[in-house]
Amino acid sequence: MSSEPVPEFALLFKAGFSDACIEAIAEAIRSAGLQVQQTQQIGAQEKEGPMMLLSASEERLQLEAKNQRLVVDLPSKPRDNFDFLAFRTGEREVHLMEIGQLTPDIKGREFRPWERSFLVCRVVLDQVFAKDCNAVEEPRGTESLVHSLMREKTLLAFFPLHNKETQTFTVQLLNFRDDKNSFLLSTDGLDALAQAYGTEAAMYFVFIRAFTMWLIPPGLVGLFIWLCRPPNVTVDDDVKHVFFSMAMMLWAAVFPSLVLRAERSCACRWGTLEGELHEEKNPEFRGELRLSPITGEQEPYYPTWKRQLSYCVSAVVTLVMLGIASGVMICLLNLQGYMTGEDSTDMFYIPLLAQWTEPGRILDPTGNGDPFLFGFVTFLPVVLYVLVVRQLNAWYRGIAVVLTTWENHEEETTLENAMIAKRFFFEAFDCYIALFYVAFVLRDPVKLREELMQIFMADTIRRVLTESVIPWVFIRRAESSESKHLAARKMDDNTSELPAELTAWRKEALRDDYVPFDDYLEMVIEFGYVTLFASMFPAGACVAIVANVIECYSDLFKLEMVSRRPKVDRRANSMTQTWFRVLQGMAWLSIATNVLLMGVSSGQLALLVPAAHHPEASDAGQPGCAMWFLVALEHAACLLALLITLAVPTSPLWVQNALLSRRHRRKLQRRRVAMQLSGRAPAPCVVAVGSSGGS
């Protein structure tokens, strides 16, 4: 262990912030037991000023670890009068106990990377208050110094720093070394990632792992159906798709419970299963000061009716943006040849755009109008579709931030939930609107399958390029520009106080914060591609498996090389519950969409059950089932999915046993204390460790 603590967090101030205020802030942080290192402004960014680096001694970390109730894995079972969680994983027996219970005869361990970052963060946010520092113009009650500075726009960023341990871990995974931790989606790989970056970042990869592993069975079946389909059979009249689609409905309904099961298994191993989230205040929350009826101190208050009014405004703005997105999608569908103007269903036919898809023209879907690129120019509308969707989502992302900020949420959790609701609703509409139009207005299964395949694959490539590769290139260019600016300053100032080269901390200041929101959103959208249109694209599950493996390594690369280090909340025991509810909603929606696809948009159900064929559709020579049959099938599928969902426990048996065993120990301890207080001799306490089990 090095004698000099490694900086764990950085504060980036705005340019022109006075030295006296910075020194006052440093003194307030030092009074909490942290070590502070100040750096000069060396960047070319006009708005960015000096940085402050924070670290802590081992003794200070030990003290805060007791306050935060961190746990330690003991090599042997402690005495029964200790409060611990015991379970068996593989051949190893695990005993997790809070560090605060350690006695001199029980050896602890060194802090992991995420623990050091977490503890320094909690000291700053929980024990350094704005009212104790004269650098804050308007302190509010017990508001933290960091939140006050961010509210007053004098602090631009407060972020954790990467270190050699996280870099070594990332390089090991990206180089595919022959090691037990070399595969990211393995149990050991996830454990190592949680130790380096914390459980909140690791839970996203747990979600990808569960998604990918549970996709393997339907992926193999879907690939088999796709490969074994006879040449004269189309997706419109292949009855095997009916059975696959019914299985995918049930799979989608039970999948959220499987994800929760995997996350609770990991949370138990990491010692965060029973933890509680830190409810952070929103630094931008504003309101009239009043006496709190709970604490008796001054606090800002914002009336509920004002927030509800802002919800109405947000809804109107979102509907306007949805209308714009719909218009753009109609234009792109015309460029793809889906609007021909030949019948009444082409209500959105635009001759100016659709003319380019006529036979022999440049965008002819058959490729006959492309004399130069061997027909590949027909993929141009699909590429345009993906790029336009991304741009529309980027525009709405900025609008959603403004709307959510205006709603003035007091807690970070409610702020995040409001953002999820807006962006998911808009971006899901943006991604699925064209597919729903082809499926339920044009009712063309062949075109729907082609559109789905092209969008799915193009979107996978787009994610890797726009999230990892292109940002990495821009960051390298920014670092090069900063290095040149630093060299020019050293030459002009002729001073030795400036560093010889751009420091790692300054490089991290050039990056953006890591936000798992976009990663979750993309996975949920992909979940919709696989489940909402399962009857039209059985091989989609197989494609999603490959896309997920690529995505997880792309996200790991982004985590270390493109974004700042994630802020750690060690009590994260699952993904945000709003995402869990979104998954559940999409799973139940997939039952309705697949029943309609099989019974209305295609002839799959009519061929399988001829008696259910609608008479009018039969006379017209078109596919279509009677409505009574579709409603009955949908209700039966919902009932079966509900029964299966209720039958699947959301926690593995070994996790349940570990929690029950701990609860029983606590009960016996309370009984022992009560007997001691009453003067009776306590009964012996013998507790068996919970049974073993897998994840």
DSSP string, 557-581: HIIIIIBPPPPP-TT--SS-HHHHH
Q: Which residue has the higher pLDDT, 185 or 276?
A: 185
Mean pLDDT of all residues belonging to the chain: 81
Residue 205 · residue 270 · CB < 8 Å: no
pLDDT in tens, 554-565: 888 888 888 999
Q: 299 CB contacts (<8 Å, ≥6 apart)?
A: 140, 141, 289, 290, 291, 292
Least confident of 82-96, 411-425, 508-522: 82-96
pLDDT at 252: 94
In the numeric block, which tokens belong to residue 104?
Answer: 């001199």
Q: Which residue has the higher pLDDT, 273 or 689?
A: 273
Distance from chain centroid for Cα 567: 14
Q: Is 199 inside any structural domain?
A: no
Q: Is 129 inside any structural domain?
A: yes
% of the chain exceeding 90 in pLDDT: 20
pLDDT at 317: 93
- From 533, 514, 545, select the one nearest 592 (Cα to Cα): 533
Q: What is the mean pLDDT of residues 399-404?
A: 91
pTM of the predicted protein model: 0.85
Q: Is 22 inside any structural domain?
A: yes
**β-strand pairing of 92-98 with 84-89:** antiparallel
Q: Is 154 inside any structural domain?
A: yes
% of the chain exceeding 70 in pLDDT: 83
Q: Which residue has the higher pLDDT, 263 or 73?
A: 263
Q: Which residue has the higher pLDDT, 608 or 120?
A: 120
pLDDT in tens, 116-132: 999 999 999 889 998 88
Q: 625 CB contacts (<8 Å, ≥6 apart)?
A: 599, 600, 605, 606, 609, 612, 613, 614, 617
For residues 497 and 105, give the distance between their C-alpha atoms in angstroms, rounded to a whole number.
48
Q: Is 144 inside any structural domain?
A: yes
pLDDT at 447: 84
Range of the domain at 31: 9-68+105-161
pLDDT at 32: 92
Least confident of 8-22, 169-183, 627-641: 169-183
- Work out how many domains the chain is built from and give that number: 1
Least confident of 283-287, 416-420, 512-516, 535-539: 283-287
Looking at the predicted structure, is the pLDDT value of residue 589 above 90?
yes
pLDDT at 675: 79
Looking at the predicted structure, is the pLDDT value of residue 277 above 60?
no
Q: Is 235 inside any structural domain?
A: no
Q: Is 308 inside any structural domain?
A: no
Q: Is 317 inside any structural domain?
A: no
For residues 349 and 640, give the distance between their C-alpha atoms in angstroms, rounded to a whole number.
42
For residues 456 and 362, give the distance between their C-alpha atoms in angstroms, rounded to a whole number.
24
